[in-house]
Amino acid sequence: MASKDEKTRRGPGRPRDPAHDRAIREAIVELLSERGFGGLTMNDVAERAGVAKTTMYRRWPSKAAMVLDAIVEELEPPAAVASDDALDDLRRFIVGFYELLAGGAGGVLPIAPAMLLREGEFAAAFGERVLVLWRDLASALVERALRQGRLRAGVDASTLVDVLVALAVYYPVALGKQASTQLAERVFALVVAGAGQ
């Protein structure tokens, strides 16, 4: 029997079906790829996922909120690596961010964040739920590289991370194209050349 705390966290009604969650997320990504954000409707997602329309409207107040949740699921950062070389750990982490943003979910993810960032109220939510999480993990790797003496003393971790990840967002939002892993490697080499020992 579920505890009172579990019921409170879950909210009223039946528990969510993980199979429905997967089907809905897959439908969102497929329809974004086919029609773009403007051509996507919550009713179409419900039909593609094989769930009731009421299921969609109980979970999300709007299309943008629905897409944001799908993107957050797809862009969850990996567990931070911890080898003897924090700078290489940072490089792999940053390249992984570019790779996930550029190629995840059939290539729709580079475009979807740009769509959401133009949706005013969801720009902040995307930043808080995706970018800040990745940024904090990357900042911890920079701090470790500083402690190992791999970066010049006095380098500001937050600024360094902002420079490293900026093009991953700038390319899809401002230029309408993917930021590749090759770009990530070039940016990393350039930034570290200026910040390294």
Query: Does residue 83 share a domain with residue 16?
Result: no
What's the pLDDT score for residue 118? 66
SS3 91: helix
Query: Does residue 124 share a domain with residue 96?
Result: yes
Domain finish residue from 12, 30, 59: 59
What's the pLDDT score for residue 136? 92
Distance CA 135, CA 89 (A): 14
Is 111 part of any domain? yes
Closest CA to 76 of 62, 57, 97: 97
Query: Does residue 45 share a domain with residue 107?
Result: no
Radius of gyration of the chain (CA): 19
Total domain count for the chain?
Answer: 2
Q: What is the CATH number of the domain that holds 134?
A: 1.10.357.10
Structural domain of 104: 73-195
Is 83 part of any domain? yes
* pLDDT mean values, one per 10 residues, the chain (197 residues): 43 65 89 83 96 92 87 79 89 91 58 62 78 90 94 92 90 80 95 80
Is 79 part of any domain? yes
Query: Does residue 84 share a domain with residue 55?
Result: no
Query: Does residue 163 share a domain with residue 98?
Result: yes
Query: Does residue 79 share a domain with residue 103?
Result: yes
What tokens were used for 49? 């996922």
Q: Residues 122, 87: contact at Cβ < 8 Å? A: no
Query: Does residue 98 share a domain with residue 54?
Result: no
For the question of whether the overall pTM of this predicted structure is more than 0.85, the answer is no
Query: Does residue 93 share a domain with residue 130?
Result: yes
Helices 18-35 and 42-49: crossing angle in degrees, nearest 10, is 120
Query: Does residue 178 share a domain with residue 90?
Result: yes
Query: Does residue 184 share a domain with residue 114?
Result: yes
Distance CA 56, CA 165 (A): 33
Distance CA 110, CA 171 (A): 8
Is 65 part of any domain? no
